[in-house]
Amino acid sequence: MQSFELFWRAKPQACVALTITLLACAACEADTTDRASKTKWADPALKAAYVREHRAKSPILENASASIQAAVQAYADAFCRADRLPADRSFSGREHREMLWVHLPAADKPGAVNNPDSYYETVETLGRLAFPRLQAEFAKGCVTIIRVSRRRPPEVYGPFTLHYPGEVEYRRADGSTGRTELVRTVAEVNGRYKLAQIGPG
């Protein structure tokens, strides 16, 4: 980081150009993925069959927890424990595409833009943006989740109840406390909870 700051001071125009190039590449990649998804899901019959097939299944979430607070705690623990990964404590791509998305209103809307791949790409992008900040907060050492507030009332979609946490308050081992609002959605199914989305609410 210090080397980058020195480079920025020495050659600010080069840094700006590099940043613009990287952003353009990311946008191009996202646009290519989006076009491919729209082409794949352009057939309404294919999309309808996909929705029917996966709606008929009973969703079972891996590594789910007994409460919202426990789900957030499990996710926070994954940053400081070698035997866990944060990705294992939040929704996988399959859980998003095949379990949750098929019960959301978007699944019944016409048009190729409303498809599970585009939906998951949006969720993943928000997660990538939020992940470094969560890592900075939780990777310093294990924390204890003290309180998870509610941002707005939960919503029910098929077998899922989506909860929308507001502020998450936690305590570090040295007694200091911290807060984050980067836990966006927690999904509940069959009395079990798992982080569905991270990112600003």
**Residues 190/159, Cβ–Cβ less than 8 Å:** yes
165-194 tens-digit pLDDT? 999 999 999 999 999 988 999 999 999 999
Q: Which two tokens stand for residue 169?
A: 């308050």
The fraction of the chain above a pLDDT of 90, given in percent, is: 60
Q: List, in sequence order, every residue forming a beta bridge with 156; answer none if it has no partner.
A: 161
Residue ranges per structural domain of the chain: 41-198
How many other C-beta atoms can be found within 10 angstroms of the C-beta atom of residue 97? 19
Burial class (CB in 10 A: 0-12, 13-18, 19+), 153: exposed
29-70 tens-digit pLDDT? 545 445 555 577 889 999 999 999 999 999 999 999 999 999
